[in-house]
């Protein structure tokens, strides 16, 4: 891939109380390929890390927020930064992800390989996600199909797939479509931010593509002995985090641009997960308090 294409690309890494080793590994990988910025969400000890981050010559900016303003807000700050710098491709990363070799090259190559087959345009591209704890691959899902819902080829490609949803980390945003689709929903704060944005993009006719050309190693949620978590059916978070997952998904159930197939399956999954936590977790009272509050507060979102 030419240096001219790389000049059109930037990356953002959103941090909050990061694991230093994992973060510096990711930055070292990015530093080989792409200019990047850091947006820190009020980490109390981020100043101790700044000098280590500045070692990477392709770090263009470090934006330190005074408090945790949420993942969506941090991403929007990065998107605004990228637009001001006339960026075409903008990569989003969580602080604890790891990349395959030539990740940026492979992702941009996927865009140019696939965009001519898109009727309205490609809004975003996601890599194949592999959980480094289990080496389990995450499939690219379609929500409104009853059968053959995963890894459906994009116009006959052997490595690119139609997707209804891409997780935040590793995703390449095509910024020429941001004005039409809109930016990240800030009042979601953290959970389902990527899901909501993907649903909006798809509802406006844009394509989302998943690809095997690039791999991102990333664990979703926390470790657990729960067989549903270990099998990848659902992710597990601490009780306080369950407030946001509950509130935001219930809000999405009422959004007219959310796929009906997703609503049906997710309501069932949400009920099963809630019952599992209430019957099996030692923190069942805390989970119920946060989940019930989240369901109640869903109506306050706009």
Rounded to whole angstroms, the Cα distance separating 106 from 231 reads: 28
Both structure tokens of 31: 């530093």
pLDDT band at 82 (very low <50, low <70, confident <90, very high): very high
Domain layout of the chain by residue ranges: 3-217, 227-300
CATH number of 3-217: 3.90.550.10
Residue-wise pLDDT tens digits, 143-162: 988 777 899 999 999 999 99
β-strand pairing of 9-15 with 35-40: parallel
pLDDT band at 224 (very low <50, low <70, confident <90, very high): low
Whole-model pTM? 0.93
Residue-wise pLDDT tens digits, 118-136: 999 999 999 999 999 888 9
Q: How many other C-beta atoms can be found within 10 angstroms of the C-beta atom of residue 185? A: 21
Residue-wise pLDDT tens digits, 2-35: 445 556 899 999 999 999 999 999 999 999 999 9
3-state helix, strand, coil in the chain (%, to 5): 45, 20, 35
Instruction: Write down the pLDDT at residue 198.
Output: 98
Give me the percent of the chain exceeding a pLDDT of 70.
92
φ/ψ region of 100 (left if φ > 0, alpha if ψ in -120 to 50, else beta) reads: beta
Residue 215 pairs in a beta bridge with: 128
Angle subtended at Cα 255 by Cα 250 and Cα 260, rounded to the nearest 5 degrees:
90
- Cβ contact 91:104 at 8 Å: yes
């Amino acid at each position: 891939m030419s240096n001219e294409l790389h000049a059109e690309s930037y990356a953002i890494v959103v941090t909050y109380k990061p694991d230093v080793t994992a973060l510096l590994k990711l930055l070292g990988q990015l530093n080989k390929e792409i200019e990047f910025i850091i947006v820190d969400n009020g980490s109390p000890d981020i100043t101790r890390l700044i000098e280590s981050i500045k070692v990477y010559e392709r770090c263009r900016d470090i934006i330190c927020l005074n408090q945790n303003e949420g993942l969506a807000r941090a991403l929007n700050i990065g998107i605004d930064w990228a637009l001001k710098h006339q960026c075409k491709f903008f990569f989003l990363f969580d602080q604890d992800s790891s990349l395959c070799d030539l990740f940026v090259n492979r992702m941009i190559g996927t865009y140019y390989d696939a965009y001519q087959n898109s009727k309205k345009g490609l809004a975003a591209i996601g890599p194949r996600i592999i959980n480094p704890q289990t080496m389990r691959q995450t499939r690219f899902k379609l929500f409104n199909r009853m059968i053959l819902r995963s890894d459906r080829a994009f116009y006959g490609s052997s490595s690119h797939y139609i997707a209804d949803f891409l997780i935040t980390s590793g995703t390449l945003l095509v910024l020429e479509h941001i004005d039409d689709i809109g930016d990240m929903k800030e009042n979601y704060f953290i959970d389902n931010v990527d899901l909501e944005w993907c649903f909006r993009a798809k509802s406006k006719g844009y394509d989302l593509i998943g690809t095997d050309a690039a791999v991102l190693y990333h664990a979703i949620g926390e470790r657990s002995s729960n067989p549903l978590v270990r099998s990848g059916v659902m992710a597990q978070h601490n009780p306080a985090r369950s407030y946001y997952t509950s509130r935001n998904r219930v809000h999405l159930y009422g959004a007219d641009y959310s796929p009906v197939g997703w609503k049906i399956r997710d309501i069932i999954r949400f009920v099963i997960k809630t019952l599992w936590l209430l019957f099996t977790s030692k923190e069942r009272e805390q989970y119920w308090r946060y989940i019930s509050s989240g369901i109640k507060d869903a109506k306050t979102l706009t």
